[in-house]
Amino acid sequence: MKKFNVALVGVGVVGAEIVKILRERNFPIREMKILATRARTEKIGDHQYEIEPAKIESFQDIDIAFFAGTEGAKGASRQFGWQAVEKGAIVIDNGDDYRLDSRVPLVIPEVNPHHLKEHPGFVSSPNCSTIQLVMALAPLHQRAKIKRVIVSSYQSVSGTGRAAIDELQSQTRAIVEGKEVLREVYPHQIALNLFPEIGSLTDEFPGYYGEEVKTVKETRKILDEPHLAISATCVRVPVIFAHSEAVNVQFEEKLSPREAREILNSSPGIKVIDQPEKSLYPTPVEVARKDDVYVGRIREDSSIPNCLNLWIVGDNIRKGAALNTVQIAEEMIKQGLIS
Alpha carbons 107 and 117: distance in angstroms, whole number: 11
State how far the Cα of 295 lies from the Cα of 56, in Å rounded to an integer: 43
**Do β-strands 307-314 and 293-300 pair in parallel, antiparallel, or remain unpaired?**
antiparallel
**Confidence (pLDDT) at 1:** 80
pLDDT above 70: percentage of residues in the chain: 99
The model's confidence at residue 55, banded by pLDDT at 50, 70 and 90, is very high
pLDDT-derived band of residue 74, with 50, 70 and 90 as boundaries?
A: low
pLDDT greater than 50 at residue 24: yes
Specify the pLDDT at position 153: 98
CATH number attached to the domain at 4-126+321-334: 3.40.50.720
Distances (CA, A) of 215 to 18, 212, 293, 336: 23, 5, 17, 30
130-316 carries CATH number 3.30.360.10: yes
Confidence label for 71 from pLDDT (cuts 50, 70 and 90): very low
pLDDT tens per residue across span 230-245: 999 999 999 999 999 9
pLDDT at 69: 78
Q: Please say if the pLDDT value at position 280 is more than 70.
A: yes
Estimate to the nearest angstrom the gap between the alpha carbon of 155 and the chain centroid.
Answer: 11
Residue 310: the pLDDT is: 98
Residues 150-196: tens digit of each pLDDT: 999 999 999 999 999 999 999 999 999 999 999 999 999 999 999 99
Q: In what order do the strands lie in the sheet with 4-9?
A: 40-44, 47-53, 29-36, 4-9, 64-67, 90-93, 122-124
Kind and range of the H or E run holding 324: helix 323-334
Distance CA 259, CA 149 (A): 18
- Sign of torsion, CA 257 259 261 267? negative
For the cut 50, the answer to whether the pLDDT of residue 2 exceeds it is yes
Phi, psi of 127, rounded to the nearest 5 degrees: -60, 150
Q: Is the pLDDT of residue 72 over 50?
A: no
- Catalytic amino acids? 128, 243
Query: What residue segments make up the domains of the chain, in order of their start?
Result: 4-126+321-334, 130-316
Of 302, 19, 310, 11, give the one whose Cα is nearest residue 151: 310
At residue 339 the predicted structure's pLDDT band, cuts being 50, 70 and 90, is: confident
Under 8 Å between Cβ of 68 and 10: yes
pLDDT, residue 70, reads 57
In the predicted model, is pLDDT for residue 124 greater than 60? yes
Backbone angles phi, psi at 47, to 5 degrees: -120, 145
* H/E element, 229: strand 229-236
Report the percent of the chain where pLDDT is more than 90: 96
